[in-house]
Amino acid sequence: MMPDYALWDSLQSPVWIFDIDCKRISWANKAALMFWNAETLDEISQRDFSKDMSEAVNVTLSQYQKRFDAGENIKTWWNLTPGNITRKVLCHFTGYLTPEGRTAMLVEVIADEPCLRRDIALADFTNLALLFDSDGKLVSVNHAFEEYFGNELRDLAAFATDTHLARRWLRSARSNGFFQAGARCWTGQNFQWFDVEGVWLGDRQQLLLHLSDLSDLGEGRDEMQLVRHHAEMDYLTGLVNRRGFGKVVHGENDKNRSYSLLFLDIDGFKLINDTHGHSVGDRLLTDIAERLKLTLDNRGLLARFGGDEFVIKIDRSQVGIPGDLARELIAELNRPFEIGDIGEIIMGCSIGIARYPEDADNLDTLITYADMALHRAKYLGRNRSLYFTPEMACALHRKARLRHRLSIALEKCEFSVHYQPITRSDDGMLKGFEALVRWNDEELGHVSPAEFIPLAEETGQIVQLGRWIMQQALKQLRTWRSKFGIDLMVSVNLSRAQLQPGLAPYVSELMKQYDIKPSQVALELTESTMLLDYDEARHCIEALGQIGVELYLDDFGTGYSSLSQLHDLPITTVKLDKSFVQGEHKGSLAVIEATRAICEKLGLRLIAEGIETQNQLEYLKHCGYDYCQGFYIGRPMAPEQLEELHANLFEQSVEN
Ligand code: C2E
Ligand code: CA
Ligand code: CA
C-alpha cells in the first residue's frame, strides 16, 4: 500500500525518498520533481542513480543507512546533478522505514546554492578544485573532489590544517592574484599531499584552488621530493614542464651568464589531433620531443609547456647564435615522422627567440616575449624563427590598451558617424554617402577605424557597434529628408561577424522606423567576407538581398577572387579599391579598365573610391565609372560640417 504523503506534497522545498538499496527515488513531492527536472513521479522513479554513482558516494550512503538505524539525522551539503547541471544543496537526511521494512532515506533540500561556480564546472575533472569565499569558507567543490573525499570539508583553515597558513594563502592570492604551494592537507576524510595552486577571482572575491593529487607516488621516499617530482615533470614526454623549467632556471645561481629562450610551437598540430585523434597526436609529440632532445644534444634545457609548445633554454657561451640553432631544429623537425599505421607525417614548426639579459631581466617576461616573437613568426608564414623586438611588445601593449578603452567607449557610446559623399560621375550630382565610424577617445585621442574595427571584430563587439552605426545612418537619412526634402542613399560597412540571422530583420525594422526605402540603403562587404562557405552568413546575405537593400563589393581588386566567383551573390555594385585609383600598382590602369569591362558584362555598377586629384577624377569618368568618392570630392565629415561645407551638393542630388 502506498503511504499517504499528501502533507509533504504541499511543502515548498524539494522532498523525496531515496531507496538506498535500489538507488532509486521512490517518491518525490512537486518541488522535488521540478528540482530533478522530471514531469511525473513515474518518470523520476524510473531513473537509475546507480549508473553515475561513484564508489565514494555509494559507501557514504551505506554509512548513512547505519547512522539512520542508530537514530541519527544528517544535515550536510551535497552536490546533486539534475539534468546535467550541478547544484550544491544543503540537505537534511532522515531515515525512513519502507513498507517492506528497509531503511530508506528521506531527503529534504533546505537551501540551494543557485549556481555552482563556472570555474569549477569548467575545471579539468581529473584535477581537483575547491572554491572558497574571502573569509575562507568553502563555497563549492568539483565532482572529482567530492567523489574522492565527500563533503565534509568546511573551510580553508581546516584544509590547510593551520589557520595561519590559510590566512597566508588568502593574503598572497589576494595581493598577487596567485600562489602555489606543496602542502599536506585535510580533505575532510584524510590527510593528503597536494600541490596547491590558488587563483584569486577578483570580481567575485573568491579563491579558487586547483589541486594536483600527489598521494599515489609510492612509499619510502621523501614525500616533499615526490611532490616536486610529480608536479614538475611532463608525463607524456618525460621532459620538465613549465613549473619544473622555472624551478631549474631560478635555481641556477650564475646571474651573469647570458642565455636565450626558444619558444617552439608545432605548425598545424591541432589538425593532426583533429584528423587522426589524440593517441596519434600524443605519439607524434613524444617523437618530436625525442628528436628535439637528440638535436639539442645536451646544449640546452628542453621543456614541454603543454600542448605542442616546447621551450628551450640555451647558454650563449655554448651555442653561439641562437638563430642558427633554431634553424637547425626546424630543419630536423621538417624531416618526416613515421607513425604506425598512418605512415609519414611531415611537420613544420615556428620558433620565437628572446635573450637574457638584453630583452628582459626575468624569466616570466622572457617567456612572454619569446611567445610574442613566435606568434609573429607564425603570422609571417610559419616554419621559421624570429627574434623578439621591443616593437612587438609595444604593439601588444597598444592592443591591450585599445581593447580596454574600446569596451569603455562601447558602454558610454563614445562613437560618432562621419559621412563621405558619393557623386555621379557624369554630372557630379550627389548620390549619397558612405557612413564611416569615428572614435575619439579621452585618453588615446582619435583612433582610426582601420585599427579598432579589427579589434572589435575579434571580440565580437562589432555586432553591437555595427547595429548602432546602422541606426545612426538611417536616422541621418530621415533628418536630411526633412531638412532638404531629398532621399539620399547611405552605404554602411559590414563585418563578417555581423552576418547573422537577426541582421536583415533589424535593417527592415530600422527602415520602417525611419521611413527609408530599400533603394536608399547599401551595405558594403569585402570579398573575403562574401566568400563564405558557411551557411549562416550566406543565408544572411541572401536575406539582405531579399529585403531589397543593395550590396556593394568593397575594396575590389585587393583579394584573389574573380567577379565570376561572386556571381551568385546579390551584389549590385563594385567599389574598386583606392590603391588602383591612386595608381599604386604596376598594372593599375589595366585593372581599372578590365574591371569596368567585366562589370559592364555582368551588369554591375562601379564606384571608384579614393579619388584625390582632378586627373584621377577625369580618368575614371573617361573609363565609364558610374560613381566617384574621394577626398577630392569630399572628406568624411560630421553631418553639420558637411551641410555647411558642401551646401551645393545638397542642392543637386540623384533621385534614389
Ligand atoms: P573602407 O570601407 O575602404 O573605407 C574607405 C576608407 O578610405 C575610409 O577610411 C576613408 O576615410 C578613406 N578614404 C576615402 N577617400 C579617400 C581618399 O581620397 N584618399 C585616401 N587616402 N583615403 C580615402 P577610414 O574611415 O579610416 O576607414 C578605414 C576602414 O575601416 C574602412 O575602409 C572600413 O574597412 C573600416 N570601417 C570604417 N567605418 C566602418 C564601419 O562603420 N563599420 C565597419 N565594419 N567598418 C568600418
Ligand atoms: Ca567601405
Ligand atoms: Ca573601400
Indicate whether 198 pLDDT > 50: yes
Q: Which of 592, 624, 629, 591 is nearest to 610 (CA)?
A: 629
- 300 C-beta closer than 6 A to ligand 1: no
Mutate to test the pocket of ligand 1, among 406, 436, 469 (most ligand atoms within 8 A of CB): 436
**CA 418 to ligand 1: nearest atom:** 25
Q: CA angle at residue 170 from 168 to 174, to 5 degrees?
A: 115
- Residue linked to cell 567530492: 146
- 465 C-beta closer than 6 A to ligand 1: no
User: What value does the mean pLDDT take over residues 57-70?
Assistant: 80
Residue 601, classed as helix, strand or coil, is helix
Which pLDDT does position 115 carry in this prediction?
A: 35
CB proximity list for 48: less than 8 A, separation 6 or greater: 23, 24
Indicate whether 401 pLDDT > 80: yes
User: What value does the mean pLDDT take over residues 129-154?
Assistant: 84
- Phi, psi for residue 594 in degrees, rounded to 5: -65, -40
Which pLDDT does position 57 carry in this prediction?
A: 67
* DSSP tag of 359: T
**CA 495 to ligand 1: nearest atom:** 44
Which pLDDT does position 54 carry in this prediction?
A: 65
- 577 C-beta closer than 6 A to ligand 1: no
Ion ligand 3: residue ranges with CB closer than 5 A: 554-555
Q: Residue 361: is it exposed, middle or buried by C-beta count within 10 angstroms (0-12/13-18/19+)?
A: exposed
Which pLDDT does position 420 carry in this prediction?
A: 98
Residue nearest to atom 23 of ligand 1 (CA): 610
User: How far does residue 577's CA lie from ligand 2's centre (Å)?
Assistant: 9
User: What value does the mean pLDDT take over residues 527-540?
Assistant: 76
Q: Residue 386: is it exposed, middle or buried by C-beta count within 10 angstroms (0-12/13-18/19+)?
A: buried
Mutate to test the pocket of ligand 1, among 461, 493, 612 (most ligand atoms within 8 A of CB): 493
d(CA 520, CA 490): 6
Strand partners for 17 = 27, 106
User: How far does residue 613's CA lie from ligand 2's centre (Å)?
Assistant: 20
pTM above 0.95, yes or no: no
Which pLDDT does position 561 carry in this prediction?
A: 66
CB of 552 within 8 A of CB of 574? Answer: yes
Flag the least confident range among 181-190, 305-314, 529-538, 640-649.
Answer: 529-538
The segment with the largest mean pLDDT, out of 55-69, 105-119, 356-370, 470-484, is 470-484
- 450 C-beta closer than 6 A to ligand 1: yes
Ligand with an atom nearest the CA of residue 552: 2
> pLDDT for 303-357, tens place per residue?
999 889 999 999 888 888 999 999 999 999 999 998 877 888 889 999 999 999 9
Indicate whether 478 pLDDT > 80: yes
User: What value does the mean pLDDT take over residues 574-583?
Assistant: 93
User: What value does the mean pLDDT take over residues 443-469?
Assistant: 94
314-322 own/partner pairs: CB under 8 Å, 24+ apart: 314/259, 314/260, 314/262, 315/257, 315/258, 315/259, 316/257, 316/258, 316/259, 316/260, 316/355, 317/257, 317/258, 319/260, 322/260, 322/262, 322/353, 322/355
| In the chain, % of residues over pLDDT 70 | 89
- 461 C-beta closer than 6 A to ligand 1: no
User: What value does the mean pLDDT take over residues 580-600?
Assistant: 87
Which pLDDT does position 374 carry in this prediction?
A: 96
Q: Which three cell numbers stand for residue 376?
A: 609573429
User: How far does residue 495's CA lie from ligand 2's centre (Å)?
Assistant: 10
Which pLDDT does position 560 carry in this prediction?
A: 64
Which pLDDT does position 224 carry in this prediction?
A: 43
d(CA 646, CA 521): 21
CB proximity list for 368: less than 8 A, separation 6 or greater: none
CB of 606 within 8 A of CB of 626? Answer: yes
**CA 555 to ligand 1: nearest atom:** 3
Whole-number mean pLDDT of the chain? 86
Biggest CA pair distance of the chain: 102
Residue nearest to atom 42 of ligand 1 (CA): 493
Residue nearest to atom 4 of ligand 1 (CA): 436
d(CA 491, CA 621): 21
- 2 C-beta closer than 6 A to ligand 1: no
User: What value does the mean pLDDT take over residues 17-37?
Assistant: 92
d(CA 108, CA 13): 7
- 420 C-beta closer than 6 A to ligand 1: yes
Which pLDDT does position 376 carry in this prediction?
A: 92
CB proximity list for 224: less than 8 A, separation 6 or greater: 182
Q: CA angle at residue 130 from 127 to 133, to 5 degrees?
A: 155
- 545 C-beta closer than 6 A to ligand 1: no
The DSSP annotation for 447-490 comes to E-HHHHHHHHHHHTHHHHHHHHHHHHHHHHHHHHHHHHS---EE
**CA 420 to ligand 1: nearest atom:** 14
- 630 C-beta closer than 6 A to ligand 1: yes
| In the chain, % of residues over pLDDT 90 | 50
CB of 423 within 8 A of CB of 627? Answer: yes
Q: Which three cell numbers stand for residue 507?
A: 535593417
> pLDDT for 550-560, tens place per residue?
999 999 988 76
Which pLDDT does position 239 carry in this prediction?
A: 83
Ligand with an atom nearest the CA of residue 436: 1
The residue with greater pLDDT, 214 or 290, is: 290
Cα-atom radius of gyration of the chain, to the nearest Å? Answer: 33
Q: Which three cell numbers stand for residue 98?
A: 519502507
- Domains located in the chain, CATH noted: 6-112 (3.30.450.20), 122-229 (3.30.450.20), 234-388 (3.30.70.270), 404-651 (3.20.20.450)
Residue nearest to atom 3 of ligand 1 (CA): 555
User: What value does the mean pLDDT take over residues 444-461?
Assistant: 93
Are β-strands 430-441 and 489-493 bridged in parallel, bridged antiparallel, or unpaired?
A: parallel
